[in-house]
Amino acid sequence: MFSMSRGLTFDDVLLEPVYNGIKSRQLVTTAINLGEFEFKIPICSSNMDTITGHKMANLMGSLGGLALLHRFMSIEENVEEFKKVEYKNNVGFSIGVGEHEYDRAEALISAGAQICCVDVAHGHSKAVNRMVKYLREKYKDNILIIAGNVATYAGADYLAGAGADVIKVGIGPGSVCSTRIKTGFGVPQLSAIINASKVDKHIIADGGIRCPADAVKALAAGADMIMLGGLFAGTEETPGDVLEKKGPDGSTIRYKKFRGMASREAQEDFMDGMADWKTAEGIAVEVECKGSAKAVIQDIMGGIRSGMTYSGASTIGALQRKVNFIEITPAGWLEGTPHFNIKKG
Q: What residues act catalytically?
A: 177, 179
One DSSP character per residue, 67-91 reads EE----S-HHHHHHHHHT-S-GGGE
Distance between terminal CA atoms of the chain? 44
Alpha helices in the chain (DSSP H): 54-63, 75-83, 100-110, 126-139, 153-162, 179-183, 189-196, 212-220, 264-270, 293-310, 316-322, 330-335
> Which residues are CB-neighbours of 308 under 8 A, at least 6 positions away?
22, 25, 28, 30, 216, 314, 315, 316, 318, 319
Q: Which of 231, 220, 226 is nearest to 307 (CA)?
A: 220
220: phi then psi, degrees, rounded to nearest 5: -65, -30
Q: Which of 248, 148, 127, 153 is nearest to 205 (CA)?
A: 148
Residue 171: Cβ within 10 Å count:
26
107: phi then psi, degrees, rounded to nearest 5: -65, -45
Most distant pair of Cα atoms in the chain: their distance: 66
CA 233 – CA 52 distance, rounded (Å): 10
The amino acid at residue 202 is H
CA 118 – CA 148 distance, rounded (Å): 7
Cα–Cα distances in Å, from 28 out to 23, 185, 211? 9, 38, 20
CA 109 – CA 104 distance, rounded (Å): 9
